[in-house]
């Protein structure tokens, strides 16, 4: 919400299309009440981005990686476009944290972190922050923070201070576990496709490697089949908890089509490849063998003859 402090009635923003449902809610449903219009597009296409910037465009908003299909945007390239057109660039860095990626150093003007996820890392608070290295941007954000009361509670701050002390240790373990699990998923016959920016198979892996020092525990993958298979897969999991919560120590799994994105129009989801067979994992800190065995038995339960066993 705080980011709206940078825009005035009649100004526009451009946001990446595969955005988190929370941000989509703010930009698509709340901002218009204040006369702020949002355009959602694939910002990895910088040519298109360039042509969509209008005189009253004030902000470009990018999630990197994007929420569900983990698309990677070349931040330096978009920052160049933003600078040229005198538009602010904001980057949602939630999935990587400053430990793995620092968008201000790559040319962004504002960075958002949902502290609810990895920064706190214990799934017991709701918090977020906006960071900037520009004093005029900071002034507008502070005005909004104080005016709208966007301040976290003392207990949430205490929990976050505790959590952040182990950020590096946790991120190293998330990273290690997710790479092993993504490779495992990639060779399983029940899996159609795995999306993990740290794998060479990711279409923007080369850009990712330059701007980030590794990926976190977020993996998206497509099962072979449809909603029946993905629901059966979730039901069979024992170590992974089925929930939309992500970024904590415990591994979680969800089907965005049916859960986090259930209120989105089907056409919009289809356009973004958020289909019924897409599973999103938040790989936690557990022993990797336990995670692989859990995923393996859930995938094996999808084999057509498994009902007869
Ligand atoms: C979860 C998430 C958010 C929203 O954060 P909350 O702290 O839950 O409000 C925003 N952006 C991304 C990329 C997210 O994954």
Q: Mean per-residue pLDDT for 121-131?
A: 96
According to the model, what pLDDT value does residue 198 have?
97
Return the structure tokens found at 136: 């005029």
Q: Mean per-residue pLDDT for 43-63?
A: 96
CA atoms within 13 A on the CB side of 109: 24
Which residue is closest in CA terms to ligand 1's atom 14? 20
Over 90: is that where the pLDDT of 303 sits?
Answer: no
Per the listing, tokens 């160049």 go with 80
Of 146, 163, 180, the residue at which a domain comes to its end is: 163
Is residue 309 assigned to a domain? Answer: no
CATH of residue 223? 3.90.1150.10
Contacts of 159-162 spanning 24+ positions with Cβ under 8 A: 159/120, 159/122, 159/124, 159/125, 160/115, 160/119, 160/120, 160/125, 160/127
Query: Domains in the chain: how many in total?
Result: 2
Q: Mean per-residue pLDDT for 224-245?
A: 97
Is residue 7 assigned to a domain? Answer: yes
Distance set, CA 37 to CA 12, 54, 224 (Å):
5, 12, 38
Specify whether 12 is located in the same domain as 154: yes
- Cα of 113 from ligand 1 centre, angstroms: 8
Specify whether 15 is located in the same domain as 153: yes
Specify whether 9 is located in the same domain as 141: yes
Specify whether 223 is located in the same domain as 123: no
Is residue 305 assigned to a domain? Answer: no
Beta bridge partners of 242: 253
DSSP per-residue codes, 170-220: HHHHHHHHHHHHHHHHHT-TTEEEEE-TTSTTSTTHHHHHHH-S---SEEE
Over 80: is that where the pLDDT of 286 sits?
Answer: yes
According to the model, what pLDDT value does residue 308 have?
46
Q: Mean per-residue pLDDT for 27-49?
A: 96
Each residue's pLDDT tens digit, 89-112: 999 999 999 999 999 999 999 999
Of 163, 180, 213, the residue at which a domain comes to its end is: 163
Residue to mutate (ligand 1; options 15, 18, 22, 247; most atoms within 8 A of CB):
22
**Closest atom, ligand 1, to C-alpha of 63:** 13
Specify whether 10 is located in the same domain as 51: yes
Specify whether 100 is located in the same domain as 173: no
Specify whether 135 is located in the same domain as 264: no
DSSP per-residue codes, 91-153: EE-TTTHHHH--GGGGT-SEEEEEIIIIIT-SS----EEEEES-HHHHHHHHHHHHHHT----
Residues with Cβ within 6 A of ligand 1? 20, 22-23, 63, 67, 92, 94-95, 114, 116-117, 126, 128
pLDDT grade, residue 309 (50/70/90)? very low
Which residue is closest in CA terms to ligand 1's atom 5? 114
Is residue 208 assigned to a domain? Answer: yes
Is residue 272 assigned to a domain? Answer: yes
In this prediction, what percent of the chain has a pLDDT beyond 70?
Answer: 98
- Cα of 306 from ligand 1 centre, angstroms: 37
Specify whether 184 is located in the same domain as 280: yes
Is residue 307 assigned to a domain? Answer: no
Backbone angles phi, psi at 298, to 5 degrees: -70, -40
Each residue's pLDDT tens digit, 161-172: 999 999 999 999
Specify whether 97 is located in the same domain as 25: yes
Of 163, 193, 218, the residue at which a domain comes to its end is: 163
Each residue's pLDDT tens digit, 170-211: 999 999 999 999 999 999 999 999 999 999 999 999 999 999
Over 80: is that where the pLDDT of 69 sits?
Answer: yes
What's the rounded Cα separation, in Å, for the pair 58 and 60? 7
Is residue 202 assigned to a domain? Answer: yes
pLDDT grade, residue 1 (50/70/90)? confident
Is residue 306 assigned to a domain? Answer: no
In this prediction, what percent of the chain has a pLDDT beyond 90?
Answer: 97
Specify whether 25 is located in the same domain as 174: no
287 CB neighbour count, 10 Å cutoff: 10
By 3-state DSSP, what share of the chain in percent is helix, strand and coil, each rounded to 5?
A: 45, 15, 40
According to the model, what pLDDT value does residue 88 have?
98
Range of the domain at 23: 2-163
According to the model, what pLDDT value does residue 154 have?
96
pLDDT grade, residue 237 (50/70/90)? very high
Q: Mean per-residue pLDDT for 284-290?
A: 98
Q: Mean per-residue pLDDT for 43-62?
A: 96
Specify whether 152 is located in the same domain as 9: yes
pLDDT, mean over the chain: 96
CATH of residue 104? 3.40.640.10
**Contact 287/239 with Cβ under 8 angstroms?**
no
Specify whether 183 is located in the same domain as 292: yes
């Amino acid at each position: 919400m705080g980011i709206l402090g940078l825009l005035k009635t009649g100004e526009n923003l451009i946001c990446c299309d595969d955005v988190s449902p929370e941000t989509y809610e703010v930009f698509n449903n709340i901002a218009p009440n204040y006369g702020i219009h949002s355009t959602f597009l694939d910002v990895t296409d910088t040519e298109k981005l360039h042509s969509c910037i209008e005189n009253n465009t004030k902000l470009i908003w990018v999630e990197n990686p994007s929420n569900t299909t983990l698309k990677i945007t070349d931040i330096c390239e978009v920052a160049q476009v933003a600078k040229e057109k005198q538009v602010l660039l904001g980057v949602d860095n939630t999935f990587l944290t400053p430990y793995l990626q620092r968008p201000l150093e790559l040319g962004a003007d504002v960075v958002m972190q949902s502290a609810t996820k990895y920064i706190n890392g214990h799934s017991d608070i709701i918090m977020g922050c906006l960071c900037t290295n520009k004093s005029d941007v900071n002034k507008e954000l502070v005005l909004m923070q104080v005016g709208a009361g966007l301040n976290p509670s003392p207990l949430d701050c205490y929990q976050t201070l505790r959590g952040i002390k182990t950020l590096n240790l946790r991120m190293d373990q998330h990273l290690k576990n997710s790479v092993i699990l993504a490779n495992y998923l990639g060779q399983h016959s029940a899996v159609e496709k795995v999306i993990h920016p740290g794998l060479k198979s990711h279409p923007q892996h080369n850009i990712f490697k330059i701007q980030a020092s590794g990926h976190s525990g977020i993996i998206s993958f497509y099962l072979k089949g449809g909603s029946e298979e993905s629901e059966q897969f979730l039901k069979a999991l024992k170590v992974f908890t089925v929930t939309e919560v992500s970024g904590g120590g415990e591994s979680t799994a969800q089907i965005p089509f049916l859960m986090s994105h259930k209120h989105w129009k089907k056409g919009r989801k289809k356009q973004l490849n958020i289909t019924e067979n897409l599973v999103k994992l938040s790989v936690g800190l557990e022993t990797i063998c336990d995670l692989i065995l859990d995923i393996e038995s859930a995938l094996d339960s999808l084999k057509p003859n498994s009902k007869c066993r």
